[in-house]
Amino acid sequence: MKLEVTGLTKCYGPTRAADGLSLSVESSRVLVLIGPSGGGKSTLLRMLGGLEIPDSGTIAINGHRLLSDAAALQAYRRKNGFLFQQFNLFPHLTARRNISLPLEKVHGFTPGEAHTMAEQALARFSLLDHADKLPAQLSGGQQQRVGIARAVARQPEVLFLDEPTSALDPEMTAEVLELIQELAEAGQDIILSTHEMGFARAVADQVAFVAMGKIEEISPPAELFAGPKSALCQRFLSRVMLY
């Protein structure tokens, strides 16, 4: 995955969520965004995924520049997969139908094709026994796994994950992180934000520290965690890795 971001700005009223943010990644399978809450990680992730339009600046992923017109953004989103902090499953649909419905309505597959793809995705993540359950009948970890299965059922070019374990307890967090690691090892390109520093260290090819709407630092995890260069990153890591 190649990424080139130049001069991104994004304001929400007086808040500058992205403040002239630039980022260059020549080759990476997994890019992990870390940093303080409110520092701009989620906003950057949503702009990279084409879900938010920057006020200014440019984004190019794998050599293709993101355009701001609706048709181009819709086509771009269809190529990628998304999973956010809340599970965002349809509460009245079964696990299987949560996966098959977007395949029909968004990607144009027939009901039969979508059903088969949904079954394959559920089986891949050991969820086939839960295919006919509603989200309320699933644990938090199972719901998040269904969300991941839905995101990757179409074999996305890039998988975007925004703090995918923030709503989970420690055991479920470990379960979901192992699943994401398996996807990365299988060759899936991933951009994710997380507060799980051990996971970032183990899985990322590149770690970007995002604070105050800017990329303060980016480097391979061994370098960033062993010797962060920016004072903001040093202070952040000293706090989150204290215990």
pLDDT values of the chain reduced to their tens digit, one per residue, 243 residues: 999 999 999 999 999 999 999 999 999 999 999 999 999 999 999 999 999 999 999 999 998 899 888 899 999 999 999 987 777 899 999 999 999 999 999 999 999 999 999 999 999 989 999 999 999 999 988 998 899 999 999 899 999 999 888 878 888 888 888 888 999 999 999 999 999 999 999 999 999 999 999 999 999 999 999 999 999 999 999 999 876
**Residue 147 within any structural domain of the chain:** yes
What distance lies between CA 162 and its chain's CA centroid?
5
**Residue 102 within any structural domain of the chain:** yes
Instruction: Strands of 81-182 (E only): list them.
Output: 81-83, 158-162
User: What are residue 93's phi and psi, to 5 degrees?
Assistant: -115, 150
**Residue 97 within any structural domain of the chain:** yes
Range of the domain at 94: 89-155
**Residue 115 within any structural domain of the chain:** yes
Residue 110 vs residues 107, 120, 157, 162: alpha-carbon distances, Å: 9, 15, 22, 30
Residue 240 vs residues 48, 75, 204, 228: alpha-carbon distances, Å: 26, 38, 18, 14
Output the pTM of the full model: 0.92
**Residue 15 within any structural domain of the chain:** no
Total of domains in the chain: 1
